[in-house]
Structure 1
Amino acid sequence: MNRPHKSLRALWRTCIAAVCTVACVVGVAACGSQDSANGNVIKIGIKFDQPGLGFKKSGTYEGFDVDVAKYIARSMGYSEAQIVFKEAPSKQREAMLQNGDVDMILASYSITDERKQAVSFAGPYFVAGQDLMVRTDDHSINGPQDLNGKRLCSVTGSTSAVVVKEKFAKQVQLMEQPGYAECATALFSGIVDAVTTDDIILAGLASASRGRLRVVGKPFTQEYYGVGIKKGDTKLATEINDAIEDMIQDGSWNRAIEENTKGTNYEPDWKYNPPTPDEGE
């Protein structure tokens, strides 16, 4: 059984620790500022535990979702010091918007008809696809059709593993973990053969692995990432869509993708990317 390098185990322990130490949800730049005291801030929900998308690291925030959020906020007239990032766990996103805890959410938040019953969306700003991540030296898995008899890791409650099992691999052995950092650690260790979720999430994890993991690059679904906002706020949706279009046109969107997935040879599915944001819903 392959064992992960000591430094790599430390890297993933750091990732996992970041998930557990999220008590301070206010960005350091915004904490205690006059803008914050006066309420002149914009509150944005992101993930804190997804390298490459939304990741909290030593009181700062990084990832593609974060870069898009900052671009949108700037276009609306907010400085970076006026952005308050809050953790937006998947199960709490609709409630956070409905309760006014945040003004918008960018947290690998797929646009679905079911969610549109509770909240509105701007965007999409990215189209992800479910894919697989394997060890770099493993060439036995080239797509979901190769998973029969293999050990697969996904996050508890995720629909990703269900999709694979129902559509492609009846004999897959599923391990569920609380987060993708734990799945990546299991993959390093040889406990599992592959990890599955959206390709851009996997690309962020692969980038953090320093070349030890790779994304297979055969996406088999489409997930349209939107900016969640309060139900019916068409004015805000239009502002956000304008900002997304500007980000795509001036090259910032491409640069953000490259920066947050560097070292992985990852490329989005150009058949669907970059997307064209809809006006409102």
Structure 2
Amino acid sequence: MRGAMLAVTVLLVVTGCGGGDEPPAGPKLTVGIRFDQPGLGTRDPDGGYAGFDVDVAEYVAERLGADKRNVTFVEARPTERENMLEQQKADMVVATYSITADRKQRVDFAGPYFVAGQSLLVRKTNSDIDGPESLNDSDWRLCSVAGSTPARQVQASYAQSVTLDQRDSYPECIAALLNGDIDAVTTDDVILAGYAAQYPDKLKVVGKPFSTERYGIGLRKGDGRRAKVTDALRAMLADGSWDRFVRENLGGYQAAIRPEIVDSP
């Protein structure tokens, strides 16, 4: 009798263990993304995440052996990205993160996985601002995000001719533009295209890009995974995933330059 009871107990234990989902495999990764860039990185009302950078991050994470359930997304604001990596609050930052000489002193990059260019977003009724040349000898009010490369570009090149309003997020700049508080929003063309698509009857992107922004995946200095991340990005371009991510997330935006992944961007 005791043997029968033992057999039943073992059967119940085995059955109970088999009824649940398998635990996620591989390492756990925390990835910094933007929450406020339509088509690139957004957080949905239900708590999900969507955008080109999200797809890139998940592709790379899978190549590193991480199950999607082991990937945690956190917001990476421009002023916080280097600190997030240095303080180990994120393993990677995939957040329209332009590769620059200054940033390379503090973090390592893999990429570039996308090439964009700074541009201008204005109200559809504005016919006076049609490109960067319109900013010379003017009193236009521009908005960009504090700590971003575009904000620094404006400060370096147009500080004497425009007023730069630096906000904490792009939605704040867009709201100010729609309300008439500022004349233009400036950042990378692919970001502006996402907002123009949200407000097709009210906003438009004008002029040709006036910079080259190479987006990379940021890693802590000396992170030994950079070579594997680089290999993952090369595979993403080779197997057609990059083209699919652009098509599915960026709609009518045409990527003018197909990125070339290099070992030391």
TM-score normalised by L of structure 1? 0.76
CA distance in 2, matches of 1:101, 1:175: 29
AA aligned to 2:38 is: P
Q: Paired residue for 1:179, among 169, 173, 183?
A: 169
CA distance in 2, matches of 1:241, 1:101: 21
Q: Paired residue for 1:215, among 201, 205, 209?
A: 205
Aligned residue in 1 for 2:232: 243
CA distance in 2, matches of 1:116, 1:192: 33
Contact kept, 8 Å, 2:144 with 2:185, in 1: the verdict is: yes
Aligned residue in 2 for 1:43: 30
Q: Secondary structure of 1:225's match?
A: strand
Verify: 1:260 aligned to 2:249, yes or no: yes
Runs of 4+ in 1 over 6 A off after TM superposition: none
Aligned residue in 2 for 1:188: 178
Q: CA deviation at 1:161?
A: 4.3
Q: Max radius of gyration: which structure? A: 2
Q: CA deviation at 1:261?
A: 2.7
AA aligned to 1:256 is: F
Q: List runs of 5+ in structure 1 lacking aligned partners.
A: 1-32
CA distance in 2, matches of 1:163, 1:52: 23
Structure 1 residues 217 and 53 mapped into 2: Cα distance closer, same or farther (>3 Å)? farther
Structure 1 residues 152 and 118 mapped into 2: Cα distance closer, same or farther (>3 Å)? closer
Q: Secondary structure of 1:246's match?
A: helix
Structure 1 residues 175 and 279 mapped into 2: Cα distance closer, same or farther (>3 Å)? closer
Q: Secondary structure of 2:114's match?
A: strand
CA distance in 1, matches of 2:245, 2:106: 30
Contact kept, 8 Å, 1:144 with 1:164, in 2: the verdict is: no
Q: CA deviation at 1:89?
A: 2.4
Residue deviations 1:31-67, cap 9 Å, x none? Answer: xx9757x984222111222222221112011111111
Q: CA deviation at 1:216?
A: 1.7
Please report the RMSD computed on the Cα atoms of aligned residues, expressed in angstroms.
2.5
Q: CA deviation at 1:125?
A: 0.6
Q: Paired residue for 1:100, among 79, 88, 91?
A: 88
Q: CA deviation at 1:103?
A: 1.8
AA aligned to 1:275 is: P
Contact kept, 8 Å, 1:204 with 1:260, in 2: the verdict is: no
Q: CA deviation at 1:108?
A: 1.6
Q: CA deviation at 1:175?
A: 3.0
CA distance in 2, matches of 1:98, 1:168: 32
CA distance in 2, matches of 1:166, 1:93: 21
Structure 1 residues 162 and 90 mapped into 2: Cα distance closer, same or farther (>3 Å)? closer
Contact kept, 8 Å, 1:132 with 1:196, in 2: the verdict is: yes
Q: CA deviation at 1:244?
A: 1.3
Q: Paired residue for 2:133, among 126, 134, 145?
A: 145
CA distance in 1, matches of 2:242, 2:58: 12
Q: Secondary structure of 1:81's match?
A: helix
Percent identical among aligned pairs is 47
Q: CA deviation at 1:173?
A: 3.5
CA distance in 2, matches of 1:98, 1:207: 35
Aligned residue in 2 for 1:275: 259
- Pairs aligned (count): 242
Verify: 1:131 aligned to 2:119, yes or no: yes
CA distance in 1, matches of 2:77, 2:23: 26
AA aligned to 1:237 is: R
Aligned residue in 2 for 1:224: 214
Structure 1 residues 103 and 169 mapped into 2: Cα distance closer, same or farther (>3 Å)? closer
Aligned residue in 1 for 2:11: none
Contact kept, 8 Å, 1:215 with 1:266, in 2: the verdict is: no
Aligned residue in 2 for 1:155: 145
CA distance in 1, matches of 2:220, 2:118: 27
Contact kept, 8 Å, 2:115 with 2:258, in 1: the verdict is: yes
Q: CA deviation at 1:197?
A: 1.0
TM-score normalised by L of structure 2? 0.80
